[in-house]
Amino acid sequence: QAQPVESGGGLVQAGGSLRLSCAASGRTYRSSPMGWFRQAPGKEREFVAGISNTGIGPDYIASVKGRFTISRDNINDVVSLQMSSLKPEDTAVYYCNALEFWGSRRSRFSTWGQGTQVTVST
């Protein structure tokens, strides 16, 4: 299974916005719930947001709820993460991956793409 390709990261001031994209082509990804994860320096990778294969019922961790919005385009095989009101604690490398099943916050695959760096300055 080809790895997803993440893009859209960058350096932004606190309070700013970024939109991340994940190109995840193939039937496996198209039929899977998808999630965004992040890994900050010195910390374990954590789940951030998830969306079902049909795009319903997004799931967010408490710290990003109301600020981040996950969406997917199953025609173009893209999963997006719109991030607003960014905080320095959102600084991390962001990854996408399929989820084990809808409702899970664990990745289905153990391999990861290169991710995209998000840096939020004060």
Q: What is the mean pLDDT of residues 69-91?
A: 96
Stated as kind and residue range, the H or E segment containing 30 is helix 27-30
**pLDDT higher for 89 or 29?**
89
Residue-level pLDDT at 57 = 79
Residue-level pLDDT at 1 = 66
Sign of CA dihedral 28, 112, 61, 69: negative
Going from the C-alpha of 27 to that of each of 2, 37, 116, the distances in angstroms are 11, 21, 23
How far apart are the C-alpha atoms of 39 and 93, rounded to whole Å? 5
